[in-house]
Structures are given as C-alpha cells and as structure tokens.
Amino acid sequence: MREVRIKLIGFGNVGREFVRQLLARERIIAERFRVRFSIAFIADSRGVLYGTSTIRRDLLEKALNVPRGAVSSLKSGVRGESACSAVEK
C-alpha cells in the first residue's frame, strides 16, 4: 500500500470538504487504489495543527468542528505559525 502525505494549506469550505471526503471514503480508496492518505498538518489563517507524524482521525474530526481560523487552538496546534514555516519543517 502506498502512503500519500498531505500538507493542507487553507481550511475554509474547500479544505474542510476535502478532509470530510477523505475521511468518508478512506476505506474505499485504500481497497480500490491501494493508497492510504495521511495529513501531516493543516494550516489556516491563524496557525497550524500538527500530528505527531500525521494527524489522527479523531483530531481531524475535531478540526472540522472548530470555527474558521481556530485549528491551532486544538491539542498540538501552534497559534501564529505560518504555513510557510510548516512546509519547511
């Protein structure tokens, strides 16, 4: 199985729907295409949300329910960090 790591910059309507669709179709994509997706970080206008190596599913689900610009308020979020600095890590 091939793993594809996603670095998501922007978490408005499109970014959130993208994550919803990945979560909803995770098993189908893995079975049909032999690909597993993981999200390394999500950057929004106010900060970045990281996982230890990837963001766990439960944390992704929480991120979908926080207001815009608030993913960095979740556990392992870094308020004030830019998307550029996250990409460079």
d(CA 86, CA 89): 5
Please identify, in words, the CATH class of the domain defined by 2-88: alpha beta
DSSP letter at 14?
H
**Which of 35, 27, 33 has the alpha carbon at shortest distance from 4?**
35
**CB neighbour list of residue 59: distance below 8 Å, 6 or more residues apart:** 49, 51, 74, 75, 76
User: Would the pLDDT of 52 be above 90?
Assistant: no
Starting at the edge strand that comes first in sequence, how are the strands of the sheet with 35-44 ordered? 2-9, 35-44, 47-50, 77-79
89/61: higher pLDDT: 61
- The pLDDT assigned to 53 comes to 87
Q: Is the pLDDT higher at 5 or at 89?
A: 5
pLDDT digits (tens, 9 = 90+) for 2-47: 999 999 999 999 999 999 999 999 999 999 999 999 999 999 999 9
